[in-house]
């Protein structure tokens, strides 16, 4: 496994209403909306409602990603199952200027470190559509393994494409931590 570079300028903090305007702007960007599979037209009201719901739900850990002092995206651990000790990861970097700087890798690392410790998780899963090759490369570099292909699972530009179901186990995450360079 390659060494993962952690960007010391990146931190995560709980998503709050003050993040709503950025989130709405990013979800209004067709590239971001397309890659996250947004199904409805975004609105400020829906964004604020999602933030409120996430703050009240113990099964959702929604984090704002900061690069220095700027909110640049979100990383979410949700669908937490205390019995199976599993959860789902999702992430997006909304600010184009913040991409390709190790922001996503660092945010994933920070969110997983917190989630594995706090919720005693055994496994974290995610889905990613097959055309999001940058994300797939990043997840693979991080240690996520493709468990299966979800055929025609995703709709993009009015056509169906496959998605990958990927996961990372606690022991794999623990091994990754030995390859982190701060």
Tell whether domain 4-181 is in CATH 3.40.50.10310.
no
Write out pLDDT tens, residues 146-164: 999 999 999 888 899 999 9
Res. 178 pLDDT band, cuts 50 70 90 = confident
> Are 143 and 176 contacting, i.e. CB atoms less than 8 angstroms apart?
yes
pTM: 0.92
Share of the chain above pLDDT 70, in %: 98
What is the per-residue pLDDT for 34?
82
Distance, first Cα to last Cα, the chain: 16
Please give the mean pLDDT across all residues of the chain.
Answer: 92
> Could you report the per-residue pLDDT of 122-152, keeping only the tens digit for each?
999 999 999 999 899 989 988 999 999 999 9
Tokens of 121: 């998780």
What residues does each domain of the chain span? 4-181
Calculate mean pLDDT across residues 29-53.
Answer: 88
Nearest to 24 by CA among 11, 40, 12, 7: 40
């Amino acid at each position: 496994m390659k060494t993962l570079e952690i960007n010391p300028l990146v931190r995560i903090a709980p998503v709050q209403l003050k993040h709503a305007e950025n989130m709405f702007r990013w979800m209004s960007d067709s590239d971001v909306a397309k890659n996250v599979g947004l199904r409805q037209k975004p609105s400020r009201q829906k964004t604020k409602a999602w933030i409120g719901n996430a703050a009240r739900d113990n099964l959702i850990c929604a984090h704002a990603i900061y690069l220095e002092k700027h909110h640049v995206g979100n990383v979410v651990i949700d669908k937490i199952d205390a019995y199976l000790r599993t959860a789902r990861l999702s992430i997006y970097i909304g600010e184009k200027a913040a991409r390709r700087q190790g922001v996503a890798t660092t945010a994933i690392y920070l969110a997983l470190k917190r989630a594995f410790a706090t919720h005693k998780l055994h496994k974290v899963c995610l889905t990613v559509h097959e055309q999001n090759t940058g994300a797939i490369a990043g997840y693979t570099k991080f240690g996520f393994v493709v468990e299966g292909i979800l055929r025609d699972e995703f709709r993009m530009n009015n056509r169906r494409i496959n998605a990958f179901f990927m996961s990372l186990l606690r022991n794999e995450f623990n091994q990754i931590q030995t390859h982190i360079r701060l």
